Structure 1
Amino acid sequence: MKISILGFSCSGKSTFSNEIAKKLYIKVYHLDSYYWEDTWKKNELFDISSFIEEDNWIIEGNYLKHSLEERLNSSDYIIYIDCNLVIRLFRMIKRHILFTINPNGKNPISNKINLKFILITIYKSIFFQPKLIRYLKSNYSQKYLYIKNIKEINDYDQFISKLFNTQK
């Protein structure tokens, strides 16, 4: 099984991916962990082709310029997680504070929340997100699932059961 999970910064993609992976016993690839070598330093060798070739995976993250169509075409399910912009900005600030207190084991990008990043997040939410959602609906409607907020999912076993019964 191959599942792509998309959504903008701090929408809950990682949390959702980890929960689904535990239930399905599938490896999760958190693209932030591969794309960023260090705080705002990109991994120049970033390539997800080898992930896509595997039989089972959950790939979490956008990185639209990196094999997006190949990833989506290979996916059995494409799940888009939306979340209110204000909540996402709150989570961003909270993540930054928690990283500052205890940086061990955290994604280094969490350390660099700044005004530019916040403005980019707002811009993408207003202008780019609607386009991406329309693209997914029109090109992948048979395997696309939109989730307004992961907080709505109280029982992941029930969610997975419902997903497989309604999507196939």
Structure 2
Amino acid sequence: MKRIMVMGISAGAGKSTFARQLGDQLSIGVYHLDAFYWKPGWIEAGLPEFKSKQEEVVGRDSWIIEGNYSSTYDLRASHADTIIYLELPLLLCLYRVMKRWWFHRGKTRDDIGEGCEEKLDLEFIKFIVTTYYPRKKKMKKRLKAFKSMSPEKKIIALKSRKEIRGFFKRLGS
């Protein structure tokens, strides 16, 4: 496990926290796709720039890249030896998004682009709610497609906080 792609069902699934903990445990650098995608003031990077930043990282010997962004799934998945998918319950994801906003409001998190103050609006909540179940169906197919890229590729799906704790416990032993 040296080139790891961490993805999740939704915002609030715990991708950033999981990736940081995994990076600490394995001593591997962690890269956050939100930091590649968002420019100051929540301006989107263009696809060529966004892709180029990822190409630079996936060419290295070891990395952990966390985030979704389906437009570049295949780029990351084709270079990853391990893909970890977090699928926590919708209500937990929503709770975490609101909690994150409360604790970081008016500040920029270290896993997001510089100059992007934490925000929360009804549009984002609606996005999470309306995409959660359709994504769940898509992800099953996507994970199978990723596995078909290489028989050695490890796919790990974690669907509860208990499973995540168990994963880190096994990793540490």
Asked whether the two chains share a fold, i.e. TM above 0.5, the reply is: yes
**Identity percentage of aligned residues:** 31
Superposition CA RMSD, Å? 2.3
Task: State whether structure 2 residue 50 is matched by structure 1 residue 46.
Answer: yes
| Residues in 2 aligned to 1:116 and 1:104: alpha-carbon distance in whole angstroms | 20
Task: State whether structure 2 residue 107 is matched by structure 1 residue 103.
Answer: yes
Give secondary structure in 2 for the equivalent of 1:111.
coil
Q: What is the CA distance between 1:129 and its match in structure 2?
A: 2.4
Deviations for 1:64-110, whole angstroms, at most 9, x for unmatched residues? 102x112112111100001111111111111111122x615454656
Indicate conservation of the 8 Å contact 1:39/1:111, yes or no.
no
Indicate conservation of the 8 Å contact 2:108/2:118, yes or no.
no
Task: State whether structure 2 residue 171 is matched by structure 1 residue 160.
Answer: yes
What is the TM-score of this pair, normalised by structure 1? 0.83
Task: State whether structure 2 residue 127 is matched by structure 1 residue 120.
Answer: yes
Question: Which ranges in structure 2 are unaligned for 5 or more consecutive residues?
Answer: none
Match of 1:5 in 2: 6
Task: State whether structure 2 residue 138 is matched by structure 1 residue 137.
Answer: no
Deviations for 1:102-126, whole angstroms, at most 9, x for unmatched residues? 6154546562211111111111101
Question: Which ranges in structure 1 are unaligned for 5 or more consecutive residues?
Answer: 163-168
Q: What is the CA distance between 1:40 and its match in structure 2?
A: 2.8
Deviations for 1:11-47, whole angstroms, at most 9, x for unmatched residues? 0111111111111110000111111113432123323
Q: What is the CA distance between 1:138 and its match in structure 2?
A: 4.7
Match of 2:62 in 1: 56
Aligned residues: 160
Counterpart amino acid of residue 27 in structure 1 = G
